[in-house]
Amino acid sequence: MPLGRKLSRFLQYAGWPTLTGLLLGAVVILLLPHYTNDQSSIPGLENISLGNLSPRSDWEGRTSYADAVRQAAPAVVNIYTRKKLKRRRHPLFDDPLFRHFFNNSNLPQQERMQSALGSGVIIQDDGYILTNNHVIDGADEIVVLTRGGREAQAKLIGTDPESDLAVLKVELDNLTSITIGNPDAARIGDVVLAIGNPFGVGQTVTQGIISATGRFGLNLNTYEDFLQTDAAINPGNSGGALIDAYGNLLGINTAIYDQTGFSVGIGFAIPADTALQVMKDLVEHGQVIRGWLGIEAQQLSPQLAKSFNIEVTNGVVITAIYNNGPAHRAGLRPGDVITHINKQPIGDGRRGMNQIAYTRPGTQVSVYVLRNGQPQTIVATIGSKPVSS
């Protein structure tokens, strides 16, 4: 078939449908222009603007913490300790026949050295340093290495195992002390940085947030009131600084909550104000001065509450009172149920114990008790906790 006839037949069968489609498309474009130009008519998109997809230029948050690190890092030191460990002598060394033949009657006891590491924070530029008690516990030698590379033997000023804190002193000039922050103002979600010497690799900074405040009941220390953070805290970080986004000290890094010994995002720091009070007491008195009420108590369980015919389960039952102690002089009695101290609920008793311990001796507190089911308020004067023998 000639090419001209083929083209004519194609236009006869396909041309009209094609032309019809083009005409319909033109009509739609002419009658409905707002579909192509006005997206506000589409349901659900009335409040959406493409302008919202552009980056914000008015963000005032910090994008770098270099200034905070530059301010705080010189005050964080590495701590190395050495312990002398005596090796057990072989039992044959004490055998008379062995000593006779080998002339070992005066064989000296063999010793070897064990090294450990941690971190510390320079609190005063005259050389006072805060660290954890478990970092230096039992050490025969303590060496401090500054960020600038200077090294010095440290003198142990005092320790407080109940809060896991220790105070050291070094004789070095031109030290940089850290700026103290306000842990009471720390909020959950605030950015924090942990500075220390993890695994002995050298000074390292990790970043996270405040995950919780006022953590206690973890059985890590006798007295607990921790700041919790997800900033990585690993072995060697103990005793280092937890700082805010401006380089101010919020706490002394102390522990991680994990069975493996490595950070999984749950770390704890002793608040700076608590640590400074411990340091002040150790420097001035050689021991920590804690408040004392002079009672022994146990948590108020549902069974005990039922036996006392009371409905509350918050509080502790006084089981014993020290003769002539603060509670005895105030008129508290065994069997009294303490529910609040200064209007603060004491929970299972741990919070109340911390509250009393952090109250300075000589301070009056209001103790709210249930006696024979009847509420009473008794004013007691806090005494000093006796020194453990």
CATH number at residue 318: 2.30.42.10
* Domain co-membership, 182 together with 318: no
Name residues whose C-beta falls within 8 Å of residue 123's C-beta, 6 or more positions apart in sequence: 129, 130, 177, 178, 180, 276, 279
* Domain co-membership, 170 together with 296: no
Long-range CB pairs of 92-95 (<8 Å, 24+ gap) are: none
Residue 212 to residue 230: CA distance in whole angstroms:
10
Residue type, 273: D
* Domain co-membership, 324 together with 377: yes
Give backbone dihedrals phi and psi of 68, rounded to 5 degrees, phi first: -65, -45
156 in any annotated domain: yes
- Find, among 153, 133, 134, the residue nearest to 143 by Cα: 153
* Domain co-membership, 217 together with 74: yes
- Counting the structural domains of the chain, the total is 2
CA angle 375, 380, 384 (to 5 degrees): 140
Q: Which of 288, 305, 337 is the last residue of a domain?
A: 288
* Domain co-membership, 171 together with 126: yes
Residue 375 to residue 21: CA distance in whole angstroms:
90
* Domain co-membership, 267 together with 344: no
* Domain co-membership, 266 together with 358: no
Name residues whose C-beta falls within 8 Å of residue 347's C-beta, 6 or more positions apart in sequence: 314
3-state secondary structure of 121: strand
309 in any annotated domain: yes
Which residue ranges of the chain lie beneath pLDDT 70? 1-62, 85-114, 258-263, 388-389
Residues of the domain holding 342: 291-384
Contact 381, 316 (CB under 8 A): no
* Domain co-membership, 278 together with 299: no
Label residue 104 exposed, middle or buried (CB < 10 Å: 0-12, 13-18, 19+). middle
The gap from C-alpha 76 to its chain's centroid, in whole angstroms, comes to: 17
pLDDT, tens digit, for every residue of 321-362?
Answer: 999 999 999 999 999 999 999 998 887 777 788 889 889 999
Q: How far is CA 114 from CA 80, 81, 135, 139, 153, in A?
A: 10, 8, 13, 9, 17
Q: Which of 243, 270, 288 is the last residue of a domain?
A: 288
Contact 179, 118 (CB under 8 A): no
pLDDT at 115: 73
1 in any annotated domain: no
- DSSP annotation of 146 reads -
Sequence length of the chain is 389
* Domain co-membership, 240 together with 322: no
Enzyme catalytic residues: 134, 164, 238
* Domain co-membership, 115 together with 264: yes
- Find, among 164, 81, 153, the residue nearest to 116 by Cα: 81
142 in any annotated domain: yes
Residue 181 to residue 249: CA distance in whole angstroms:
5
Token duo for residue 158 = 């005092």
Verdict on whether the full-model pTM lies above 0.85: no
Beta-carbon neighbour count of residue 3 at 10 Å? Answer: 7
Token duo for residue 153 = 């033997």
333 in any annotated domain: yes
Give backbone dihedrals phi and psi of 371, rounded to 5 degrees, phi first: -120, 115
Q: Which of 269, 288, 307 is the last residue of a domain?
A: 288
CATH number at residue 160: 2.40.10.120
Contact 347, 334 (CB under 8 A): no
Contact 294, 322 (CB under 8 A): yes
pLDDT at 95: 60
Token duo for residue 232 = 């990585």
4 in any annotated domain: no
Token duo for residue 57 = 């230029």
- DSSP annotation of 63 reads S
Residue 255 to residue 229: CA distance in whole angstroms:
11
* Domain co-membership, 237 together with 315: no
- DSSP annotation of 21 reads H
Residue type, 271: P
* Domain co-membership, 107 together with 166: yes
Alpha helices in the chain (DSSP H): 3-10, 16-31, 34-37, 66-72, 96-102, 133-136, 272-285, 302-307, 326-330, 350-357
Residue 132 to residue 252: CA distance in whole angstroms:
8
227 in any annotated domain: yes
- Find, among 215, 210, 209, 246, the residue nearest to 71 by Cα: 246
29 in any annotated domain: no
